[in-house]
Amino acid sequence: MIDEAKKRALIEAMAAAMIGHAEELTALDQAIGDGDHGLNMKRGFEAVLADNDVIAAKPLPDALKAIGTTLVMKVGGASGPLYGTLALALAKELPADPSRDDLARALRGAIAAVKARGKSESGQKTMLDVLEPVAAALESGADPVAAANGAAEATIPLKAIRGRAAFLGDRSIGHMDPGARSSALLVAAIAGVLGG
């Protein structure tokens, strides 16, 4: 049951992950982008955290809608609209009290929305390379956190085809994608609260 206390804890955990890892995300984005991913995510989740009392009191779909709207407005860059789209799509697809199956199905739908928005797909060295394996783990009963961390590592040898890193061509190879890392951190934060 995702009650108000759990929604509050989820927002606190996601915000703590983004604030606590802002420098790491920035360093990853300095290597293959413009060095703002840590700051973008920190700014977005600080704004969500500032609204936690209001957001956590809403039913889950409305809370996700509020989070998505805030991320679109505050994160900026490429990742703001994409994470915003993810949250807004989850808002549409999730019931107020979702099962693991509901989560898996909703995440699949939200991934499709991110792909449409980003004109992107898996294998292009983006957040999608973490989100898809997480959906697969939810479906198969595997550990989503292990799947997310392994999938973020697996972006290191990929060549970027979407986002700023694509401008680097082969020079994007050998670095972890910043959005893949932030996705893995968010998955770990969520799983830490939901318990697996």
- Site residues for ligand ADP per CB under 6 A: 29, 33-34, 36-37, 40, 77-79, 82, 118-120, 126-128, 162-164, 177-180
What residues contact residue 174 under an 8 Å CB cut-off, 6+ apart? 156, 157
Percent helix, percent strand, percent coil in the chain, to nearest 5: 75, 0, 25
Q: Is the CB of 39 or the CB of 194 nearer to ligand ADP?
A: 39
Matching residue, tokens 């792909």: 115
- Partner from ligand ADP, Mg ion, none contacting 126, C-beta within 5 to 8 A by type: ligand ADP
Matching residue, tokens 């920035």: 26
What residues contact residue 121 under an 8 Å CB cut-off, 6+ apart? 115, 128
Query: Minimum distance from CB of 37 to ligand ADP (Å)?
Result: 4
Query: Minimum distance from CB of 87 to Mg ion (Å)?
Result: 19
3-state secondary structure of 145: helix
Stretch that binds Mg ion, among 2-10, 13-21, 31-39, 99-107 (CB under 5 A): 31-39
Q: Is the CB of 9 or the CB of 189 nearer to ligand ADP?
A: 189
- Partner from ligand ADP, Mg ion, none contacting 151, C-beta within 5 to 8 A by type: none
3-state secondary structure of 131: helix
Q: Is the CB of 128 or the CB of 151 nearer to ligand ADP?
A: 128
Exactly one of 2, 9, 13, 36 binds Mg ion (CB under 5 A); which one?
36
Q: What is the CA radius of gyration of the chain?
A: 15
- Partner from Mg ion, ligand ADP, none contacting 149, C-beta within 5 to 8 A by type: none
* In contact, 15 and 189? CB cutoff 8 Å: no
- Partner from ligand ADP, Mg ion, none contacting 82, C-beta within 5 to 8 A by type: ligand ADP
What residues contact residue 73 under an 8 Å CB cut-off, 6+ apart? 47, 80
Report the interface residues with Mg ion, using CB under 5 A. Answer: 29, 33-34, 36-37, 77
